A and B are shown apart, each in its own frame.
Chain A
Amino acid sequence: MMNTAPPAVAVEDLLVRRGGRDVLRDVSVSVPRGAVVGLLGPSGSGKTTLLRAIVGVQITHGGRVTVLDEPAGSAPLRRRVGYVTQSASVYDDLTIRQNLEYFRALLRAPKSDIDRVLAATHLEDHASSLVGSLSGGQESRVSLAAALLGSPDLLVLDEPTVGLDPLLRVELWNLFHELADQGTTLLVSSHVMDEAVRCDRLILLREGVILADDTPAGLYAATGTSDMEEAFLTLIEREKRTEFGRAS
């Protein structure tokens, strides 16, 4: 059923240059609606740049990015796409609730949304704490809570589980799947391979090039392993060999 609807995100031949270097080279991926898609790759592989292009805050140099049937970054999408940057982008000198109240007002989401997202991110007990007094993990959850306001159709999350304890990490992944069950599409980047198995689909990115875009099962089958780390290594080896083949 996911195949008939147009994908939530369609990236075609995307090219992004920065400082004379290709950060993303001919990247084409699609994110099906209602799925949890993992974007995996080592740091420096271009994950954040790809997410920024999808949210529409990245200057691009070629290709096309379509999000929920609109060009990425167009005005109607600002209400429908929630974006969580890698470092928490919330106000240190406001309480959690004051932060959420501000973003809620901008999104014109119902007031009841604040308690909903506080509960979803397990922050109810800290609602009146200043964000500046929270731990790094709590702060990134505030940033996530803000992105959940207004129930966006697409959530773009840049390494949302970094620095979280294992229990919270499991709870967040459960939350991601609950949201997906309700129809939200999630694109989640990570450099932790063991999170990959919790995704419906995986996009593997390395040095600005897509190595694979498949289901976890498909990746295991294609690489003949049962371990994501090893599957990734196998794909890198193959990519190197084809590059070498082309060079000689």
Chain B
Amino acid sequence: MNPVATLATTRRVLTQVRHDPRTIGLLVVVPSLLIGLMAWLFDETPVFQTVGPAVLGLFPFIVMFLVTSISTLRERRSGTLERLLTLPIGKLDIILGYALAFGLLAVVQALVAVGFAVWVCGLEVAGSVWLLVAVAVLDALLGTTLGLLASAFARTEFQVVQFMPALVFPQVLLGGVFLARDSLPDVLHAISDFLPLSYAIDALNTVAADSGEIGFDLLVVAAFAVGAVALGALTLRRRTA
């Protein structure tokens, strides 16, 4: 590992994003728009107060998954990744550089989304709002790292977009947004115990209700993120056929 190469990569990725203002706009605004839409949709019902915290983790997770998987796939396909692998930069530096860049974007995105949900949409948070931001950032980071990993298994942009329904939607369905995990059929509940998004959503709900400790949940989410980064680095091969 080499911090100079990692940070140079982070800077390069952020510079690329800066040249694409529409992506920045989508990254920052879309989750808030969707949260606003939900609040409006469930106006005068208690639903938004129930699912609002989970949604705060959901949209950044999905958006970051998509953005990261597509941009790293572009790097693989444009030949720049092959060039990088002939240069003095470690595989982990490349992946970490990406994770750090999109992680920083995730911080901005989560701040805006949480601020919008709490101060504009009136989401009530019994626990610390900052802790809610922190958990939302971690969820976005999870999306980033899973996106990095998913891009390794896709040959085309079409394929990588298909990973959305394949990898992300089951986690959303079983994660406790639609139905609390405790109310799921036993088999599905057991499956949901193996999905990282379940823990992310549990943590958000716990902070919003101020109903207990989230240390273990965060640990599981972080472990999945680290695992995805490590696996992602392993999928990079300096020699190819």
B8-A55 in contact (CB<8A): no
Q: Mark A134-174, 1 if CB is under 8 A from B, else 0.
A: 00000000000010000000000000000000000000000
Given contact pairs A81-B86, A89-B78, A107-B88, A58 touches B240 in the complex (Cβ within 8 A): yes
B87-A103 in contact (CB<8A): yes
Kindly state whether residue A79 has any CB partner on chain B within 8 Å.
yes
**Chain B, Cβ-Cβ closest to A76:** B88
Binds B, one of A3-11, A91-99, A237-245: A91-99
Binds A, one of B12-20, B37-45, B169-177, B225-233: B12-20
Inter-chain contacts of B5 with A (CB < 8 A): 105-106
Inter-chain contacts of B241 with A (CB < 8 A): 18, 58-59
A98-B86 in contact (CB<8A): no
Inter-chain contacts of B4 with A (CB < 8 A): 105, 108
Kindly state whether residue B155 has any CB partner on chain A within 8 Å.
no
Inter-chain contacts of B12 with A (CB < 8 A): 91, 94, 98, 102
Kindly state whether residue A223 has any CB partner on chain B within 8 Å.
no
Tell me the number of A-to-B contacts counted with CB atoms below 8 Å: 72
Given contact pairs A57-B82, A105-B4, A73 touches B238 in the complex (Cβ within 8 A): yes
Complex Cα gap A73–B87 (Å): 10
Complex Cα gap A126–B97 (Å): 28
Inter-chain contacts of B159 with A (CB < 8 A): none
A89-B15 in contact (CB<8A): no
Inter-chain contacts of B87 with A (CB < 8 A): 78, 103, 106-107
Q: Mark B82-124, 1 if CB is under 8 A from A, else 0.
A: 1111111100000000000000000000000000000000000
Inter-chain contacts of A89 with B (CB < 8 A): 78-80, 82-83
Q: Mark B1-42, 1 if CB is under 8 A from A, else 0.
A: 000110011011001100110000000000000000000000
Q: Mark B199-241, 1 if CB is under 8 A from A, else 0.
A: 0000000000000000000000000000000000000001111
Inter-chain contacts of A58 with B (CB < 8 A): 239-241
Inter-chain contacts of A91 with B (CB < 8 A): 12, 16, 78, 80
Inter-chain contacts of A87 with B (CB < 8 A): 79
Distance in Å: Cβ of B2 to nearest Cβ of chain A: 9
Which B146-163 residues have C-beta < 8 A from chain A?
A: none
Given contact pairs A89-B80, A103-B87, A130 touches B239 in the complex (Cβ within 8 A): no
Distance in Å: Cβ of A76 to nearest Cβ of chain B: 9
**21 contacting pairs across A/B (C-beta < 8 A):** A18-B241, A57-B82, A57-B239, A58-B241, A75-B88, A78-B86, A78-B87, A79-B88, A85-B79, A89-B78, A89-B79, A89-B83, A90-B80, A91-B80, A93-B20, A94-B16, A94-B19, A98-B12, A102-B12, A105-B5, A107-B87
Nearest 8 interchain pairs by C-beta: A89-B79, A105-B8, A89-B83, A102-B12, A78-B88, A93-B16, A93-B19, A89-B80
Residue ranges of B at the interface with A (Cβ–Cβ < 8 Å): 4-5, 8-9, 11-12, 15-16, 19-20, 78-80, 82-89, 238-241
Please name 14 further chain A to chain B contacts, defined as beta carbons within 8 Å, in addition to the given A57-B239, A83-B86, A105-B8, sorted by A numbering: A56-B238, A57-B86, A57-B240, A73-B238, A79-B88, A81-B86, A83-B83, A90-B80, A91-B12, A93-B20, A94-B12, A94-B15, A102-B8, A107-B87
